[in-house]
Amino acid sequence: MTAYGLLVSPSHNRVYAQAAAALVKAELTVFSERALDGRVRDVQETAIGGVPYVTFSADELTEQDVRLLSNLSSLYALFRIEDELLRPVTLQPLDLFGSDLLTIQKYSGKTNEYFTKLLLNVTAMATDSPMDLVTGRPRVLDPMCGRGTTLNQAMMYGLDAAGIDIDGKDFDAYAAFIKTWLKNNRVKHQAEVANVRREKAVLGRRLHVTLGASKERYKSGETMEITVVNADSLDAGKFFRPGSFDMIVTDAPYGVQHGSRPKGGQGQRGRKGKLHLSRSPVELLTAAVPEWARLLRSGGAIGISWNTYVGRREELADVLASNGLDVQDSDAYRGFRHRVDQAITRDLITARKP
């Protein structure tokens, strides 16, 4: 057995930095359980020279093992531990673009980009083909995509991704951001916004982006697609085909910065006509998961993060199970609960479609 040390990425978010080692420890345990046949063992949080590491032991890692582990969400560097020395392991992350794709957007309510990557990763591990994350091209849907944090992470990985969001301002903000970012970074692409019509009625707006990681790839037809629809998530089936996604990854409304629409999707209007949104994600998910599950292929997985103060894990598990999904409930998948601020303690749950 060889000992390894994973140096945890420094985070600008102080609270997330405090949880990062525990989160990547849980993430690594899921990777081992689902994709590495349990070959990663003795996973522990360890301080080396006063710096936080996650240490583990494994038989000599293969090139494909390293390719997978290189994408751990808070991984900064990986070392073999030889006596008292650290020997660097060359990483091979999937990343196709600069980190500013994930970090440049700043707005209230944005989900931490490290956590977004973690949620995408562990959802990929919950599918029936977890190594497809590095050997294939799973297609990703975020049915409450906001300003596109999940979509940008999927794009970073070279994956096709789609999103839907009812907020027109968020749709416009993401369309403006991604078109500007692609232009400024000289990424070969085509992007257009158009109305989606059905029987002369406008159902919503759609942003469709086709891009290549390089000019050569674009010219050869090796492209990826990002699609965002400005519409109600409860109507997702009107815009996407059944069984067309390998993963559904979303950050449910926390009931603080965000609200969620109750069953029916319309909410209630107060005396001044303003829309009142439910603070509980459970009502929204009860209405939406049946629609989302139809879009997921057999063997695909759904991953949802939420604020535990406004919804219990058992409630979300019941919603997923009642729609025929198999909740992943091993100890490895129960290690992600962490504090965000005084009003939010975040957790995640994943389930696979049989």
Spatial CB neighbours of 129, under 8 Å, sequence gap ≥ 6: 136, 299
- Among 116, 37, 109, 4, which residue's Cα sits nearest to residue 71? 116
Interval 74-129: pLDDT, tens: 999 999 999 889 999 999 999 999 999 999 999 888 899 999 999 999 999 999 99
Backbone angles phi, psi at 55, to 5 degrees: -105, 155
Q: Tell me where in the chain the CATH 3.30.70 domain(s) lie.
A: 2-88
Distance CA 137, CA 140 (A): 9
Which two tokens mark 345?
A: 């303690």
pLDDT digits (tens, 9 = 90+) for 215-274: 999 999 999 999 999 999 999 999 999 999 999 999 998 764 433 444 344 443 333 333
Whole-model pTM? 0.92
CA distance 289 to 199: 27
Q: Which amino acid is at 336?
A: F
Residue 57 token pair: 């032991």
100-352: what fold? Rossmann fold (3.40.50)
For the stretch 174-224, pLDDT in tens is 999 999 999 999 999 999 999 999 888 899 999 999 999 999 999 999 999
Q: Domain 2-88 maps to which CATH number in 3.50.50, 3.30.70, 3.30.460, 2.60.120?
A: 3.30.70
Q: Where in the chain is the domain with CATH 3.40.50.150?
A: 100-352
What span, in angstroms and rounded, lies between the C-alpha atoms of 286 and 283?
5
**Residue 81 amino acid letter:** I
Helix, strand or coil for residue 341?
Answer: strand
Residues 268-280: pLDDT tens digits? 333 333 334 455 7
Q: What is the C-alpha separation between 223 and 122, in angstroms, rounded?
A: 25
